[in-house]
Amino acid sequence: MSALMQVLPYLIAAYVFLTGCYGLATSRNLIHAVGCLSVCQVSTYILLLAVGYRSGGTAPVFSDIKPGTRPLVDPVVQALTLTDIVVGATVTALLLALVLQIVKRHGTLDPDELRELRG
């Protein structure tokens, strides 16, 4: 494998994370900002799965392969990614619920217009 391929997946994870950060900082719409946060989160999945990959590896599930016959990818990072996806989805839902309340109380989706606190 070439030297670039050795680091490319990690660089992609970093790129996706920075893209999400850029979106978050320049966002003018709160729903868009929640989406950008999800993009940041997705970059961690890419990083985790890239760390756990093994060349020629298959899923670490033994219902149809005999243990020890094939190389396996790392199950620990897969388990981390799996739980993170579900929890990430519900946290996104919580943020969207907050956005809904902001729109109801302040009548705007633009974070720049939310300057003063109101009771």
Q: Which residues bind another protein (CB under 8 A)?
A: 1, 5-11, 14, 17-18, 21-22, 25-26, 50-55, 57, 59-64, 67, 71-79, 82-83, 85-87, 89-91, 93-94, 96-98, 100-101, 104
| Distance, C-alpha 32 to centroid of its chain | 15
Q: Closest distance between another protein and the C-beta of residue 95, in Å?
A: 9
Report whether 51 contacts 73 (CB < 8 A).
no
**Which structure tokens are listed for 95?**
């943020």
- Distance in Å, CB of 66 to another protein, minimum: 11
CB of 32 to another protein, least distance (A): 16
Instruction: Assign residue 61 a region (left: φ > 0; alpha: ψ between -120 and 50; beta: otherwise).
Output: beta
Q: Which is nearer to another protein, 75 or 113 (CB)?
A: 75
Using CA of residue 55, residue 60, residue 66, residue 67, what is the dihedral sign?
A: positive
Would you say 91 or 109 has its CB closer to another protein?
91
Output the smallest distance, CB 82 to another protein, in A: 6
Strand partners, 67: none
